[in-house]
A = this chain, B = another copy of it.
Amino acid sequence: MAGNSFGKTFVLSTFGESHGSAIGGIIDGCPAGVEIDINFIQHQLDRRKPGQSKITTQRKESDTVQLLSGIFEGKTTGTPIGFIIQNEDPKSKDYSHIAHSFRPSHADFTYQEKYGHRDYRGGGRSSARETACRVVAGGIALQVLKHWGVSIHSFVQRVHHIEVEQDISTLDFSLIDSNDVRCPDPITAQKMYDFIDQTRKEGDTVGGTIACVIKGAPAAWGEPVFDKLHADLGKAMLSINAAKGFEIGSGFSGTYLKGSEHNDLFELREGKTRTKTNRSGGIQGGISNGEDIHFKVGFKPIATIMHDQQSVNEAGEEVLVKGKGRHDPCVLPRAVPIVDAMAALVMVDHALRSRSNQI
């Protein structure tokens, strides 16, 4: 059983290689009656697309989505939503330097071992290009979530050692897109930008952390014991290219506290049962508790660097892999809409799943 579908009730299936003729997907399980604004979906895609600023790859791809089904007279019909994004013509490109050699810390070697045969052009299926399909589906999921008043706010929280120091509750999320880094703190954003640009000039790459805050989810979503809400969020995030770590709420830092310091006490606030603190990250026992859900995702520096590197080829010979091409010095600014998208897919899936919780 392969792994190109995500979700159990609101299900995204995707296809497509980096340099095939098109990529695309199907959303099955979107309820009927949701108004869909295709411009919003394209806007999310534009936030992900290459070439959007000096600190992203300079490749130019228009990434225009075509919705093929499942929407009629502006609203979803309950039938599957098919979509494609045409790829640019790959024919003129030269892949000879990677066709039969394994780029370090890429998936070339593992795909070759797993399948015995691979589309090496631009990394084929292992390219982060497939995440464009996630962003399309996320653009639909975000519109479905409005039904429950849920909104999602992802941003670059740290680049290498440069970090947003403020508490997330004090940040102004409307500033996320005010800069090319997608960090809502403009002063830190500028430092991050300079650091990324310097790294780019060195032909190197840099990682960091994206934080995400989900507002408006009711106390009810998440399906213990295995499909706990944060477990599904964690899987969603870890499935994104270059993601290496996930933490919910207090995360690893919370493991340095005692129980008496960590517990979120309950209180009545405006007539509702609320927690005084939110170290739980909005989820208790795997179920949302009505507080803001917040988590962080760690992304490694991406593997494509402009330096030559030692490697091995398919023939079992040690070779040098050349550093060349146009690549991102830092994945984080373009990964922000992908985190938005994957979070939205998880949340809609659990919103629908929760409809069976009570008779």
* A150 at the binding interface (Cβ < 8 Å): no
Q: Are A254 and B246 in contact (CB under 8 A)?
A: no
* A173 at the binding interface (Cβ < 8 Å): no
Q: Are A250 and B79 in contact (CB under 8 A)?
A: no
> Given the complex, which residues of B lie within 8 Å of A354, measured CB to CB?
114
* A273 at the binding interface (Cβ < 8 Å): yes
Please report the C-alpha to C-alpha distance between residue A34 and residue B13 in the assembled complex, in whole angstroms.
22
Q: Are A124 and B79 in contact (CB under 8 A)?
A: yes
Q: Are A225 and B239 in contact (CB under 8 A)?
A: yes
Please report the C-alpha to C-alpha distance between residue A12 and residue B73 in the assembled complex, in whole angstroms.
27
> Given the complex, which residues of B lie within 8 Å of A239, measured CB to CB?
225-228, 231, 286
Please give the count of copies of this chain that the complex contains.
4
Q: Are B1 and A300 in contact (CB under 8 A)?
A: no
* A208 at the binding interface (Cβ < 8 Å): yes
Interface-lining segment among A37-45, A50-58, A184-192, A309-317: A309-317
Of the candidates B204, B228, B275, B276, which one forms a contact with A259 in the assembled complex, judged by CB atoms under 8 Å apart?
B204
* A98 at the binding interface (Cβ < 8 Å): no
Of the candidates B34, B223, B230, B356, which one forms a contact with A359 in the assembled complex, judged by CB atoms under 8 Å apart?
B34
Q: Are B209 and A255 in contact (CB under 8 A)?
A: yes
Of the candidates B1, B119, B225, B286, which one forms a contact with A29 in the assembled complex, judged by CB atoms under 8 Å apart?
B1
Not counting A4-B28, A32-B357, A109-B273, a sample of 8 additional A-B residue pairs whose C-beta atoms are within 8 angstroms of each other reads: A4-B79, A13-B26, A31-B356, A245-B248, A252-B252, A254-B301, A259-B305, A276-B310
Q: Are A244 and B251 in contact (CB under 8 A)?
A: yes
* A25 at the binding interface (Cβ < 8 Å): yes
Please report the C-alpha to C-alpha distance between residue A201 and residue B94 in the assembled complex, in whole angstroms.
61
Q: Are A316 and B271 in contact (CB under 8 A)?
A: yes
Q: Are B106 and A75 in contact (CB under 8 A)?
A: no
- Between A and B, 26 residue pairs with Cβ closer than 8 Å are A2-B28, A4-B80, A4-B226, A20-B69, A23-B69, A32-B359, A75-B117, A76-B359, A109-B266, A109-B289, A110-B220, A111-B287, A114-B287, A126-B224, A126-B285, A130-B225, A158-B255, A204-B260, A226-B235, A235-B235, A244-B247, A245-B245, A245-B251, A246-B247, A252-B252, A267-B318
Please report the C-alpha to C-alpha distance between residue A113 and residue B104 in the assembled complex, in whole angstroms.
45
Q: Are A312 and B267 in contact (CB under 8 A)?
A: yes
Please report the C-alpha to C-alpha distance between residue A207 and residue B250 in the assembled complex, in whole angstroms.
12
Across the interface, name the chain B residue whose C-beta is closest to A25: B26
Q: Are B31 and A107 in contact (CB under 8 A)?
A: no
